[in-house]
Chain A
Amino acid sequence: MENKEIISKVNDFLIDEFELEEDQLIPTASLKETLEIDSLDYVDLVVIIERNFGFKVKGEDFATIKSLQDFYDYIISRANSN
């Protein structure tokens, strides 16, 4: 999958599932503070990632994901390594 395609897919589910607006999706935005994704949203996030990209998120991966860009990078690297 192309990086652009992955980013677009991520943005789509953030808009659809978490009721975010397209203009909120700035790569530097913090998932927790800016996009207000809370612990229960993370439950959905984990399920959606598995469904859309076919890999399982590991607990330790969460430590490195702070911003939306971190999130894109993480999905890209995991999706491409599968």
Chain B
Amino acid sequence: MPSWKGQSRGNVLGYKIFVFALKYLGLFFAYFILLFVAFYFFLFSRKSSKFTYRYFRHILKYSWLKTKWNIYRNYYTFGQVLLDKFAILGGLKGKFTYNFDGEHHLRSMVEDNTGGIIVNAHIGNFEIAGQLLERLNSRINVLMLDAEHQKIKNLVSNVLVNKDVNIIPIQSDYSHIIPISDALINKELIAMAGDRFIQEGKVFEVDFMGEKALFPSGPFYLAARFGVPVTFAFAMKESKTHYHFYATAPEVVKRYKNPEEQEQELEKFVVKYVKEFERILKMYPLQWFNYYQFWKTK
């Protein structure tokens, strides 16, 4: 079963180079260095390139040459997104501009004190959404699946300056359930990815970009269990320093006593999420950052 195995792209040295370049050389010089770093990954990171090759060549049906060119551009864009994340988390928000579609939906979740789950994906720059949303004056919790990369997390926490963003790392002993429960009982917002799952998680098989892929039911189950609404949100990079934020109207996932009815309700929401995910990805095909076997093999 294709599932995310827990590795994040890049290593600690790579992140340190990024942080150093950002701190001492500035964002645009860091982008310049990135041209070469991306080329290195293009040449030597065959495993992840294999997966992006499948995405561009078989899912998007690009020509061979266009596929190769876009694999390189994809690494470059991913690097830019990482640099932007560090820059924004490190307090350089002023360098960036944003526009928001659907911010009022999130604002209503905060003002009506419903709390809720913001379901995003590994496209664009979903980690910065919490930072962008600080103007909502609400604490945002971000559930991170790649918590076992503790060294990287430590590095990230060093540049985190916004105390309104609380990172909840997923733990193998499931202890993350407690802060999630607490946040949802307190009607806070939690951002979590709806496109990755761990091996033992419950999933639905759904058509995505023309082929079958597995998506977790977890975010929607939590929404049903705690009676909070869900919204689908994505932060996409549109130019060197501009991001476009999208959020859908919040919807309530019904809770049923009957397990079959509950499954149907969860599947309905997974399909809704996948449709929105697909719509956004088609607008920004280069910002696909799932470097593993995402689609089911035939």
Contact = CB atoms under 8 A, between A and B. Distances in A.
A27 B198 CA distance: 27
A1 interface: no
A39 B174 CA distance: 6
B200 interface: yes
B181 A38 contact: no
Nearest to A45: B177
B174 A62 contact: yes
Given A39-B200, A40-B202, A43-B225, A59 B218 contact: no
B222 A43 contact: yes
B200 A38 contact: yes
B201 A38 contact: yes
Given A39-B218, A42-B174, A59 B179 contact: yes
B175 interface: yes
Contacts of B218: 39-40
Contact of A58 (B171, B176, B178, B221): B178
Contact of B181 (A32, A43, A62, A65): A43
A61 B175 CA distance: 8
A46 B181 CA distance: 9
Contact of A62 (B175, B201, B217, B221): B175
B149 to A, nearest CB: 19
B226 to A, nearest CB: 8
Given A39-B201, A62-B178, 8 more contacts: A40-B217, A47-B181, A59-B176, A59-B177, A61-B175, A62-B174, A63-B173, A63-B175
